[in-house]
Amino acid sequence: MTKEKIKVLVVDDDRRMVKTVCDILTVKGYLAIGAFSGEEAVEKVREERPDCVLMDVKMPGLSGIEAVKAVKKLAPDTPVVMMSAYATDEQAEEAKRQGAYAVLTKPVDLQQVLSFFSLLRKEESVLVVDDDLNFSLTLKDILEARGYRVETESDPDKVLERMDTSYKLTVLLDLRLGSVDGLDVMKKIRRRYPTKPVVLITGYKEGMGASIEQGLQIGAYACFYKPMDIEKLLGTIGEISRGKLRAVLGEPFQPGEKQGG
H runs (alpha helix) in 10-128? 15-27, 38-48, 64-74, 89-97, 110-122
Q: What percent of the chain has pLDDT over 70?
A: 94
Indicate whether this model's pTM tops 0.75.
yes
* Radius of gyration, alpha carbons of the chain: 20
Q: How confident is the model at residue 241 (pLDDT cuts 50, 70, 90)?
A: confident
Domains of the chain and CATH, by start? 7-121 (3.40.50.2300), 123-248 (3.40.50.2300)
Residue 261: per-residue pLDDT: 46
- Strands 170-174, 125-129: parallel, antiparallel or unpaired by DSSP? parallel
CA 261 to chain centre: 20
Dihedrals φ, ψ of 216, to 5°? -65, -35
Distance CA 122, CA 102 (A): 19
**Average pLDDT over the chain, rounded to whole?**
89
Strand 176-177, strand 180-181: pairing: antiparallel
